Amino acid sequence: MTVSESAAEAELEVEAELLAGLESGVTTAGAPEERFDVEAPFRGTKIGDLPACGPDDVEVAFERARQGQEAWERRSVAERAEVFKRYHDLVIENCEELLDIVQLESGKARRHAYEEVLDVAMTARHYAYRAEDYLESEEREGALPGLTETEVHHHPVGVVGMITPWNYPLSLAVSDAIPALLAGNSVVIKPAEQTSYTALKAIELLREAGLPRDVFRVVTGHGKVIGEPLVAESDFVCFTGSTETGRIVASQAGEHLTKCSMELGGKNPGIVCDDADVDRAVEGLIRGCFTNAGQLCISIERLYVHEDVYGQFVEAFVDAIEGLHVGAGYDHDVDVGSLISEEQLEKVTDHVEEAKAQGATVLTGGTARPDLGPYFYEPTVLTDVDESMTLCANETFGPVVAVYEWSDEDDVIERANDSDYGLNASIWTEDHERGREMATQIETGTVNVNEGYAAAWASLDAPMGGMKNSGIGRRHGDEGIMKYTESQTVSVQKHLGMTNPPGVPHWLYAKLMNKTLKIQRHIPGMR
């Protein structure tokens, strides 16, 4: 056996040890008839296989989740929160193992996998310490001051069905589930086929933190087979993925009158103003455009640069990109990793090749890198992109950005908003007030001033989601937990009723009420 063969065999043994036992977290009705392969994008080779669940498995998962939810709901919010405080610590303590599995399945750079660990830990901590306040019953103004007492209570919806994508397999497998669970719900999740091991590991740690097994159930397999049964069984559906698939899921949820939230695609704009710190903008937009090889729904794919700094910015931007370390590695020195699959590589290649054929100019990149691995693609910058090209308006979801020049602020805002999507935007200016004012005119759910995406994403107390075709509902903040609840209003009427008292004719009651309403309008606190 050669040295290289020995090293490869040792690597496979480490991988097998990483994934050992995780399949036991999959819920099945019996021995699965079919299985599907999971591969390592760095090599394009199989690392394992998992059950391809069917509708019967989904039914069993929901039965068990409903049984578990009843006892879980009876626990106080404070008791539930203790689980997630422990989970916060376990995620940090198991950081390296989590990073290894995320990289193994997704092919992303380790520094980008680490963002997922940070997100999960921070989300667990945020909701663990705030859930009681978010979910606390509230006193509201009654119909008749002094005569009506009204409270609002927040009850769990029941079982939340989640369908999660491959691009952020750790973060999106649990960060949306955490507030759902803290609200007293149980969860059934179908993770992406490409990255199911990551989800299973994340949920294994949740059980280690004290979450009852039946409160979080996992079904693995193909969305076309188990997606619709999962939606049909759910009391609430949380979906993250493409706009195309989101429409299908929303339609299925609508048939059952099931509420849902969705974060979908984006074709996100970045705007570099004439007063921007060019060096800072270059550094931030490198991350904003090429984190996870551009496979990030909030990454920047359209970049508008003011004519006064256009030449300086583009030169520095291209130089910085050409200095990036692209490759397959399990250390923190790699800047850009692999695309997830052959399918994704073909999509990125098709977008760029079509644009080139129709007159776009490639300033850097523009080619696959099979020397690095089967699905690698160079970080790419294009100019002269117009509406005839697919990548002009359609999400590429790869390490590709088109750069445009602008001179008029009203015009660039109009161009930034000229999209069916509305997920994220980035503005670069040294005048923070100018940045805030411009941001309010951008039709996206989040806008980052002097950052690509991380500032808004990591502001966990504020809602995050999309406008237009980029989604329904919000994650994070109070909206991120309250969506998993049913609000109930309880009003107690004391003494007099809500109509004319005995012995008082209705005409006199109406006259007195009209006078009362006029008086109330002028009394603060009674309006």
Q: Are 264 and 470 in contact (CB under 8 A)?
A: yes
Kindly report the backbone phi and psi dihedral angles of residue 228, in degrees, each rounded to the nearest multiple of 5, phi listed first.
Answer: -65, -45
Q: 77-93 and 196-208 helices cross at what angle (nearest 10)?
A: 120
Q: Which two tokens stand for residue 464?
A: 């995050």
Q: Are 360 and 392 in contact (CB under 8 A)?
A: no
Q: Which two tokens stand for residue 132?
A: 């009681």
Give dist(CA 423, CA 397) in Å, integer.
14
Three-state SS string over 213-263 comes to HHHEEECCCCHHHHHHHHHHHCCEEEEECCHHHHHHHHHHHHHCCCEEEEE
Of 484, 451, 452, 447, the C-alpha closest to 465 is: 447
Q: SS3 for 149?
A: strand
Q: Which two tokens stand for residue 304?
A: 């508008």
The one catalytic residue among 238, 273, 289, 297: 297
Strand order in the sheet with 485-493: 138-140, 148-156, 485-493
Give dist(CA 201, CA 50) in Å, integer.
14
CB within 8 A of 348, min separation 6: which ones?
294, 339, 377, 396, 397, 398, 399, 400
403 sits in which H/E element: strand 400-406
Tell me the torsion sign for CA atoms 247, 248, 249, 255: positive
Beta strands in 4-54 (DSSP E): 35-40, 45-51
The one catalytic residue among 105, 263, 395, 451: 263
**Is 392 a known active-site residue?**
no
Q: Which two tokens stand for residue 22?
A: 């995780």
Q: Are 286 and 320 in contact (CB under 8 A)?
A: yes
**Is 263 a known active-site residue?**
yes
Of 180, 163, 181, the C-alpha closest to 172 is: 163
Give dist(CA 84, CA 125) in Å, integer.
7
Q: Which two tokens stand for residue 331?
A: 């250390």
Give dist(CA 227, CA 232) in Å, integer.
9
Please give the distance of CA 394 from its chain centroid, rounded to a whole number.
Answer: 19
Give dist(CA 99, CA 116) in Å, integer.
9
Question: Catalytic residue numbers?
Answer: 263, 297
